[in-house]
Chain A
Amino acid sequence: MKNNDLTSKTFRFVIAIVFLVAILVVIQINYFHSDKDKKQASKRTTFTVGFDAAFPPYGYKDESGEYVGFDLDLAQEVADRNGWKLVKQPIDWDSKDMELKTGSIDCIWNGFTINGRENNYTWSKAYVDNSQVIVVKSDSGIEKKADLKGKNVMVQTDSSALEAFTGEDADEENKALCKTFAELQQVSDYNNAFLNLESGSADALCMDIGVASYEVEHRGDDYKILDERISSELYGIGFKLGNTGLRDEVQETLDKMKNDGTFEKIAEKWELSDFVCLGKPGTDEAYKKDKDEKKTSESGMFDTVKELAKGMLSSLLIFVFTLIFSMPLGLLVMAARRSKFIILSTIAKVYISILRGTPLMLQLLVVFFGPYYIFGMSVSSSYRFYAVIIGFSLNYAAYFAEIFRAGFDSIPAGQTEAAFILGYTKTQTFWKILFPQMVKRVIPPVTNEIITLVKDTSLAFALAYTEMFTLAKQIAAAQASILPLFAAGLFYYIFNFIVAFVMSRVEKSIKYNIM
């Protein structure tokens, strides 16, 4: 045994070293920006546009499953005119800077707000003038900004609306307005935001006017846009900082499209004629800048870790509560599954089948939004945390139930028979004879499951519950750096290291061997 301990310790040490080296390598790659993509536009054969696939009418998936939208039509025309093949690459909005930096996309073309990001990208001329507006339910009684006092307001992660309230350049009026909100929540996409608004867990959404008018028009009279606006802003195409070669080619083509009327025609098709502003005076300041130096907003590793530690607490809460509830629930489901009553065992079978057969993320959404869509109950924002715990517990109970069942089934029938002959009651047989033996048998698979749970806590983002990984993504987006994600990885690893250590201690503390 001693020898075994030693190897496992050495093994863990090696793993930890490999992990650290990997982080260092990534940091290095992160800092050595390669310049090779600066002047390669002439040899270009494809043109990859990154966009958020849930951002109509600029770029989204239509009923037939095609990616369509105003921006994508423009991009298509630009690509066609240059003889490039257009690649429409839907991206996770939080990862847009990473995508651009690594060259997996050539530009972000997606109702991309210039204001506040002037120095972070190489910009095209602004082509849409957009404003941030407030969307509420028609019958909500909210008529002006002042009515938002004490309400839950929701914005998209790293969106212009969020920037308008909390960014460095936010004006004082908006900052003061934001302080009157009960909560300013972040959500990863607009569909989710409207689900929250409809179900009552958010009272108002702030978003771009183009998106807002499109959504409100398509979702009927239930919603309205307030007359008072939060800010006005410009949309441009964002290229990697310094990639002026490609930017110039695209801009030149756009200008031509503007001159021959194609641009206006496409704008009309998407009912955006009122918003387009390509070539209007005073809208191309960012384009003229052409700055090569990067405004560094990367804070130290220490600050990042401090930020993440806050998210760690949220992840830890999910972890602990899920374990507390899912294990006993799993035992109950297992008991039902092994029951002689066919109805009971069938219910348990179906339960396990569904909970194991569908994505946890979907189950979380159902638990959170289900009460509204099924029973018409409006859900409060504080339900968010409970929904996360309920969703996780229900899901993990299904897995634990099957692990426990396998554990019980592997105990020889002779144990039950011996207990019967000695006169133990069924309850005594279960708790005093079978249960301790089951525990011993299931420790390895349960350890696996617990480690998976640690990592699965990151799925809570689906309900806009800010746990560690969501926070890491937000920090990564704000800093345009991949470091926070690696710091988060390190957190998870340490967490799981402790879990594995504790479980191996538990296993050793059970002194007997199974025969």
Chain B
Amino acid sequence: MPLLELLNIKKSFGDNEVLKDISLKVESGEVVSILGPSGSGKTTFLRCATMLESIDSGIISYDGTCAYEITEEKRYKADAENMKKARETYGLVFQNFNLFPHFDALKNVAHAPEHVKNVSKEEAKKEALSLLEKVGLKGKENLYPYQLSGGQQQRVAIARALAMHPKILFFDEPTSALDPEITAGILSILKELASEHMTMVIVTHEIDFARKVSDRVVFMDEGLIVEEGAPEDVIDNPSNERTRSFLNKLK
């Protein structure tokens, strides 16, 4: 059973049909990168998958729990309990991190487990400290987001997401706000997570990054998936014309 199953997702903003008909299955332990030029719909796809955006039609299900099934025949939305179960399956690291500016690094990580999952205060703090150490921020626990660099903020954001123990973790453009040196650091964190069998879906337009980190690459253009497969096939030997032209522009 796939961990994430998205079927025939469609989404329009007014007359603008952003997602035309997209389906994606992600198995447990897989690392999938979604590539594509800007305007291809990959960010909207990510926002629909994480339910930040409603879908017009399609099926979203996480770990066997169906959250939405909207077709011409029926409109199903999971009840509160199942919806909670589905949403607990995933986490998201935002492109601009969206850390809580009024919490220090430690509280950013520990607050949600304590208040959403009812973990005890000491327990939440203990785990937050170990997660911050894991992402290389030992000693920065009591700094506020404005006192941290972009790369450090991203690490806090990753620790914050991991603290909720998601089975699948989404990344929205993880390298766009960072310079190349720091990108290498993020890459090693993602590799470490992958080695621990964390399932990840990464939206990016950096081909190199996608090649290094992912098991599978999905290439999107104009609201459709035009090609998918192993990175060496899609990136180094693309069969689709649009994939080729996109890759050529970047070379």
Contact flag A418-B94 (CB < 8 Å), given A437-B101, A512-B102, A515-B101: yes
The interface residues of chain B lying within 8 Å CB-to-CB of A421 are 50, 52, 91-92, 161
The interface residues of chain B lying within 8 Å CB-to-CB of A424 are 112, 115-116
CB within 8 Å of B: which A377-416 residues: 412, 414-415
In the bound complex, how far is the Cα of B51 from the Cα of A414, in angstroms? 14
A414 touches B96 (CB 8 A): yes
B87 touches A423 (CB 8 A): yes
- Contacting residue for B88 out of A420, A423, A428, A515, CB 8 A: A423
The interface residues of chain A lying within 8 Å CB-to-CB of B209 are none
Q: How large is the interface on A (under 10, 10 to 19, 20 to 34, 35 or more residues)?
A: 20 to 34
In the bound complex, how far is the Cα of B50 from the Cα of A423, in angstroms? 12
In the bound complex, how far is the Cα of B166 from the Cα of A422, in angstroms? 10
Q: Does A34 contact B (CB under 8 A)?
A: no
- Contacting residue for A515 out of B111, B115, B145, CB 8 A: B145
Closest Cβ–Cβ distance, residue A172 to chain B (whole Å) = 69
B52 touches A423 (CB 8 A): no
Interface of A, secondary structure class, is helix
Closest Cβ–Cβ distance, residue A486 to chain B (whole Å) = 44
The interface residues of chain B lying within 8 Å CB-to-CB of A512 are 101-103, 144-146
Q: Can you list, as one digit per residue, whether each of A14-42 has a CB less than 8 Å from chain B (1) or not (0)?
A: 00000000000000000000000000000
Nearest-CB residue, chain A, relative to B112: A422
Q: Does B84 contact A (CB under 8 A)?
A: yes
The interface residues of chain B lying within 8 Å CB-to-CB of A417 are 52, 94, 98
Nearest-CB residue, chain B, relative to A514: B101
Contact flag A432-B115 (CB < 8 Å), given A418-B94, A421-B50, A514-B101: yes
CB within 8 Å of A: which B110-128 residues: 111-112, 115-117
The interface residues of chain A lying within 8 Å CB-to-CB of B161 are 421
CB within 8 Å of B: which A426-440 residues: 428, 432-433, 436-437, 440
Q: Does B164 contact A (CB under 8 A)?
A: yes
In the bound complex, how far is the Cα of B145 from the Cα of A412, in angstroms? 15
The interface residues of chain A lying within 8 Å CB-to-CB of B52 are 417, 420-421
In the bound complex, how far is the Cα of B91 from the Cα of A420, in angstroms? 10
Closest Cβ–Cβ distance, residue A305 to chain B (whole Å) = 44
Closest Cβ–Cβ distance, residue B246 to chain A (whole Å) = 28
Q: Can you list, as one digit per residue, whether each of B2-36 has a CB less than 8 Å from chain A (1) or not (0)?
A: 00000000000000000000000000000000000
In the bound complex, how far is the Cα of B102 from the Cα of A436, in angstroms? 7
Q: Does B155 contact A (CB under 8 A)?
A: no
In the bound complex, how far is the Cα of B101 from the Cα of A433, in angstroms? 9
Q: Can you list, as one digit per residue, whether each of A432-460 has a CB less than 8 Å from chain B (1) or not (0)?
A: 11001100100000000000000000000
In the bound complex, how far is the Cα of B102 from the Cα of A428, in angstroms? 15
The interface residues of chain A lying within 8 Å CB-to-CB of B51 are 420
In the bound complex, how far is the Cα of B102 from the Cα of A514, in angstroms? 8
B98 touches A418 (CB 8 A): yes
CB within 8 Å of A: which B36-81 residues: 50-52
Q: Does A511 contact B (CB under 8 A)?
A: yes
Q: Does A3 contact B (CB under 8 A)?
A: no
- Contacting residue for A511 out of B116, B117, B144, B164, CB 8 A: B144
In the bound complex, how far is the Cα of B93 from the Cα of A418, in angstroms? 9
In the bound complex, how far is the Cα of B145 from the Cα of A511, in angstroms? 11
Contact flag A432-B98 (CB < 8 Å), given A422-B164, A423-B88, A512-B146: no
B98 touches A414 (CB 8 A): yes
- Contacting residue for A423 out of B99, B103, B112, CB 8 A: B112
Q: Does A509 contact B (CB under 8 A)?
A: no
Closest Cβ–Cβ distance, residue B131 to chain A (whole Å) = 14
In the bound complex, how far is the Cα of B51 from the Cα of A418, in angstroms? 12
Q: Does A513 contact B (CB under 8 A)?
A: yes
Nearest-CB residue, chain B, relative to A439: B102
Q: Does B160 contact A (CB under 8 A)?
A: yes
Closest Cβ–Cβ distance, residue B8 to chain A (whole Å) = 24
In the bound complex, how far is the Cα of B96 from the Cα of A415, in angstroms? 11
In the bound complex, how far is the Cα of B51 from the Cα of A423, in angstroms? 12
Q: Return 7 A-B CB contacts under 8 Å, by A number.
A: A418-B94, A420-B51, A421-B52, A423-B88, A423-B117, A428-B116, A511-B144
**Interface contacts beyond A424-B115, A512-B103, A512-B144: sample of 5 additional A-B pairs, CB < 8 Å, sorted by A:** A417-B98, A421-B50, A421-B161, A437-B101, A513-B144
CB-based closest 8 A-B pairs: A414-B98, A418-B98, A513-B146, A422-B112, A423-B116, A512-B144, A436-B102, A421-B92
